[in-house]
Structure 1
Amino acid sequence: MDNTTVFNLLNPYIKAITDDEVSSASMYAFKTTPLKSNLNQHLNLDYEFFDTNMPHEKVKSTIKTILEIFENKFLNDNTTTFEKYSIHNAKKIIDFINLDYLNFNDPLLLNATATIADVDNYKIQYFLHRLDTNCQVAYGNSSYSKFKHSLLQLTTSDDKTITIINKVAPIYKPKGFLFLMNTDLDSEASTFDLIEKDLFRLPLYPHIIIVDNICFLIEANVESIFGFEKYNKQLRDDCLNDIKSKLTITPSSLDLIKSFSRKGRNFNIFATLNSERFDNIVTKDVSTKNLLSNKLSLSYDQHDNLDITSLDDAKKLILYLCDSLLQDLDDSTLYESKNNKPLI
């Protein structure tokens, strides 16, 4: 696939916006969570979507700007390369995946009882299915706290749809004092109004575009949104390497962690790996140590290094690192979010 082909896919949407030939345009925020049921071996993530209620015209102009920036940054660059998706592709390459529509109203398909020819396509189609079936209007902090990623979607008057997905967290909490300043010398003087509320942010160009049955993975590592198996295995291997190189643990502890991580389909747990939690263990953050020791009953040696003594300990550690633990607010029991099984 070349730049001209991609331009011909995207430019009709810019033209439709310019000519006001758009039937719908919406912006959503969403959260990925480990799938609570593990009956379907092909799915490891579920999605909760929120309609932000951004005005229709604002969504249209935002999508138009994002696509124009993408065209200028990538399609006008002769060095841009598009290749069929592979976990081994270089980061500078833009991957694409050809999609085939799947109807998840078919229970055989939803439960993966039917034969799944292309698992990556299956995961992307499930993501789009959940956008249609598990979306609510955002309201209050109970919704905003779940805004982990963002999505823009536009449908033209001739019923063609483009979906733009951004992995970056959309809610920005200002740090320090931020003031609104007018830098246009021909306008009125700045009032320096203090920004006291959270901001909603989007990157300048898309991380993922789904258009005309093609999914473009533009930024590196964005396939984690869909929980691709090969990518999850790479996440697992990278995490194990980091544990070996950055944590001071005994060989037996490392062997137990590797044994659990490499068992069966446990690589899918790593789809929600939380690097901040790992960094807190590396830096021996006191609150993290107290949580692991008191809540998960993990042991530490005399030098404050983790001491993993069983496969159950290894399981607790990995589930904690991958945001796969839930806590019952009534009895403080910790649960594995994958299948709601009590851990302790």
Structure 2
Amino acid sequence: MWYQLSPDTPLDIIIRSYDQLLGEGKVPYPVPVYIDEGPLDEAPQWSSGDHFDISFYLMLLHANKDEKFGLLKTMFSAFSSSFDPLDYHFIWHQRSILEAVGAFSSNDLHLLDLSFVYQLLCLGREVLSQYCESWSRDDAQRQYIVELGIPEEWMHEALALYHEYYGDKQGALENLIQCGNRKKAHTIFVTSVAHSMFLSSNHQEVWRITSALENHKYEIADWDLGVGIYIDFYVLKNSMQERNAMDDSGSLEEMSESCRSFFGRLNKSLLVWGSKLHVESRACYSKMAEELCALLVDTPSETLNLPMGCLLTMLNAPVPDESRSSYLQDALSVFTEILCSDP
């Protein structure tokens, strides 16, 4: 029997045994069938190494059962196919079919899709991008695709890939929302789109996008440090404006506490997102903080000067140094007045 295994050994055990022996260097490497059975005069150059033919990876995937398969990126890379571009094209379709039937599930294979698109463009094959572009502009084509039974979410996912490839982050964002990939939509909005909309005072558009994502906020990690910041800013700002209009002097402490909590989230968001945030995102957060600090200063108070607690809140805001210096001077003035006041 093959490598001393019993005749009734299940196929998955045979494959795993071979893979183990392969790792130990005790069996020959699996030679791709197009080399093993192909004509000698047309045989391409091939050498054993870290990459094998996709057929072998499919065998490993079959034998893997329910365990996590760590070779997906290698399996669907160009190294696992022949030199023929059509062969690699077929691998890309195999990836989609296997994922569709539940053979595996992975959220980080979009880089392979981008790699495939890049290779098509290098070969002058802009079929995918042209198709996506024409579909997005032609209502008749879109309706025809829907009637064929192809889920519209699939086309939006393709369009998101198309827009992202060409650097159109907002176009990618819109299609990611449409196809239900809200986690990635959240990331793109926070890191690449929100700051430009906010700083250009396109608040209606910011509210539209954030509202579309809010219904699914429990699916998104770090919601409170991303899109949630923009929603809560508008809510807090509107609340403070309404209370100031009512001349409610009893709301100052409550507003100060709300601002303190919000400023803490802004600072934490800057730490969590780090270098992923666009430099203008920091300017965006500073603008939020300055607007809320200005409203806090305008909030009616029972004293002539702003209470020390409010000034300390403002000092914790992520604002430019010149603004913080101004807040610090006000705090020193209030502190001096307290020291000089009668006991």
Q: TM-score normalized by structure 1?
A: 0.24
More strand by share: 1
More helix by share: 2
Who wins on radius of gyration, i.e. which is larger? 2
Higher relative contact order (CA 8 A, sep 6+): 1
